[in-house]
Amino acid sequence: MNSRWMKAVHESFHRRVKLASPRPIAFEKSVTRRIGIFSRGILKIPKLEVLLEATPVRLLDWRVVVVDAVAGWGLRPSTRKALAHTGKHGLQYVALEDGFLRSFGTGEHYPPLSLIVDDQGIYYDCTRPSALERLLCSDTDVLSPDASLACQAREQLLTAGLSKYNHAPDLPEGLLRTSDTQRVLVVDQTAGDMSVTLGGADTTTFKAMLAAALAENPKATVYVKTHPEVSSGRKRGYLADVQPDERTVLLRNAVSPMSLIARMDKVYVISSTMGFEALLAGKPVTCFGVPWYAGWGVTDDRQLTHPALVRRAGRARTVDELFAAAYMRYTRYLNPETQQLGSIVEVIEWLECQRRMARRFSGRMICVGFPRWRAWNFREMLSLQPGSVMHARSASAAAAMQPKEGDCLVCWGRVPPEGVQELSEASGARLLRMEDGFVRSVGLGSDLIPPQSFVLDAQGIYFDPSQPSELEGLLNTRAFTVQDLERARNVRAFIVKYGITKYNLEPNLSVDWPIDGRQVVLVPGQVEDDASIRFGCDSKGVHTNLGLIQAARAAFPAAFIVFKPHPDVSSGNRNGHVDKVQVLKHADYIELDASVVSCIEACDAVVTMTSLTGFDALLRGKHVLVHGRPFYAGWGLTEDVLPVPRRKRQLSMDELVAGALLHYPLYWDPLLKGYTTCEAVLLRLREERDDRAADGSLQKLRYGAIRRKLRKIVILFQSCFFNHN
């Protein structure tokens, strides 16, 4: 970026702010506050209105819109329209920036979980006080009211090794010299970085910093860490031309900053946030520029006469105080579960989850035999590393990708495509069987609606009792904690209260059945060629919908029996239709409108083969008679017609819920592009279902063959552009 251009923009910013004499702005919560934004990129930030605590309004040159302030991204050249608008209309300019703990990966792929909203300046501009600097210069006790929370957050941050971005691996063994007696880290930055230009530095400052690091530490090896965008070739660094020698090592690999800092004895920086992260880790830090954390008595500052350091000279702050001010007071966080304003601790926990998942599936995810539409729906959620999800039509195509240990071969359902099992054994790549989770989406999978939960099982699959699965092993052996059981109780209560199901399509209507005081038995229909029936039922026993209805009448001869067809069957997408006349020979009523939850709540017992409705009924305390071997049978909670091998343990309902809903499936947030919790997905499903019910679109998901076919065509068309070998 041209430094003269940046200087001009910076001067323009100060000039317009001075001339505008803006009205002061206070960022209290208000649904009426309106902040104008020209940038389409900013407007695309998920939950921007939550982070702003205001309504973002799109500004256009040709349209007059009344707003309370105008926001732009820091002091970039792209803010010129925003600055011009503030000057013309006498409004306050608000600078936005990513928080110091932003996301798992870079902004190209991942939305921010934190945002800085500064109406006085911006933290990296040392030429004028920012809201952060004014806070630190004041007499405010920044650790109040809860100093222990700041300590907890700092310790969690250090223990997890988190930084602004968190996709890079930890420092690998062998990257640093084993013969070092002392190690000094010199942090390079990208050429044209505004935090350099506005941080009191230039090209000569970087050269002086490197020379000082070598001269002041004569026995040390000096490691020069280039910026990841320099390593990728996208940008150029200030120290890109440094030649390695016996005392100087260039680190070009992308590594976790905290894992690198931990192995250093001293750190030299211009304005990089890595300098403050080194302070958090207890390392001595020398600042050749004027970053926001310099001048408070915790860094070795080399520009003591700079006006910014003169401004800060009268106020000493500890590292804990700097952390609390910048990371907790100055930065706003999105709670990834509730998607409302949250805390740094909630973001830390979310990022820890992402890193665990990245380590769990660190290699390529090679999906074999997926239809194009399924490949399209899972293109993001199988890996946090962009480009790591690959698709092959067959085992031979997968073999051409040369899978190795650390990679995974993913197949849908119980039986892998021909040759995949052998390829897994030969290559060392893990074989994973994939299926939808138990609370999936608002809409049917057969209508190509993407799921928000799924399972990846390295042993078998939950609906196939002929072989062990990870779920069965978990339920047989896991020692559930107090926290597990508390979460399970809360999840169960939420599901029951809000009527959450797997597909969440049907309205929760009160039923009006002519039961005449009789016991009510619900018989949920199933897709008859579903794998759970093929592998979980006895071919000589009950394995069809008609057979199930007949078995229910035999078990409950005096009951009022209600048959509810499966939504995939009712929609015409799958097999299992039973003629109405045949149904009513044995059942009393066919329910087509009310939700399965409404039916469960109105019944006394459920008779099923392997339907998830049996699990939904258990959640609501109903008696469940089972003619197959679903995952919830055999634990002492159901009346089982068939023996269920290997399941000898008696479980409580909370233990079953903890295993089946909390620990076995994976949950995905398509908005924040990350792995999340069962609780978060339950919230999203309830919100989406209720919103769709309110605007009438829920009904459109259920009915209208032409409309559903058009939706499928759109998804199939999109999938045609997805790489599929």
Q: Identify the pLDDT of residue 110.
A: 95
pLDDT class for 313, splitting at 50, 70, 90?
A: very high
Token pair for 411: 């197949």
| Phi–psi pair at 219, nearest 5 degrees | -100, 0
Q: Identify the pLDDT of residue 15.
A: 45
CA atoms within 13 A on the CB side of 319: 16
Instruction: Report yes or no: 200 and 303 within 8 Å, Cβ to Cβ.
Output: yes
Angle at Cα 414 formed by Cα 412 and Cα 416, nearest 5°? 65
Can you tell me the distance from the alpha carbon of 200 to that of 267, in angstroms, rounded to the nearest whole number? 18
Low-confidence winner among 219-228, 394-403, 571-580 (lowest mean pLDDT): 571-580
For the entire predicted model, the pTM comes to 0.89
Residue with tokens 């038995």: 521
Q: Which of helix, strand or coil describes residue 208?
A: helix
24 upstream amide cis, omega within 30 of 0: no
332-386 tens-digit pLDDT: 999 999 999 999 999 999 999 999 999 999 999 999 999 888 888 888 899 999 8
User: Of 676, 446, 657, 441, nearest to 567 (Cα)?
Assistant: 446
For residue 550, is pLDDT > 90? yes
Task: Give me the chain's average pLDDT, please.
Answer: 90
Instruction: Report yes or no: 119 and 25 within 8 Å, Cβ to Cβ.
Output: yes
| Phi–psi pair at 266, nearest 5 degrees | -155, 150
Can you tell me the distance from the alpha carbon of 491 to that of 483, in angstroms, rounded to the nearest whole number? 12
User: Of 502, 484, 500, 722, nearest to 611 (Cα)?
Assistant: 502
For residue 203, is pLDDT > 50? yes
CA distances from 617 to 455, 499, 544 (A): 22, 11, 20
700-714 tens-digit pLDDT: 776 555 666 676 677
Can you tell me the distance from the alpha carbon of 560 to that of 513, in angstroms, rounded to the nearest whole number? 9
281-312 tens-digit pLDDT: 999 999 999 999 999 999 999 999 999 999 99
Q: Identify the pLDDT of residue 568.
A: 65
Can you tell me the distance from the alpha carbon of 123 to that of 527, in angstroms, rounded to the nearest whole number? 59
Q: Identify the pLDDT of residue 527.
A: 87
Q: Identify the pLDDT of residue 603.
A: 97
For residue 457, is pLDDT > 50? yes
Instruction: Report yes or no: 669 and 336 within 8 Å, Cβ to Cβ.
Output: yes
Q: Identify the pLDDT of residue 573.
A: 54
Q: What number of residues does the chain have?
A: 725
- Region for 668 from its dihedrals, namely left if φ exceeds 0, alpha if ψ lies in -120 to 50, beta otherwise: beta
Beta strands at 605-608 and 623-626: parallel, antiparallel or unpaired:
parallel
Write out 345-413 in H/E/C secondary structure.
HHHHHHHHHHHHHHHHCCCCEEEECCCHHHHHHCCCCCCCCCCCEEEECCHHHHHCCCCCECEEEEEEC
567-624 tens-digit pLDDT: 766 655 556 677 889 899 999 999 988 889 999 999 999 999 999 999 999 999 999 9
Beta strands at 520-524 and 605-608: parallel, antiparallel or unpaired:
parallel
Average pLDDT over residues 680-703: 87
- Region for 209 from its dihedrals, namely left if φ exceeds 0, alpha if ψ lies in -120 to 50, beta otherwise: alpha
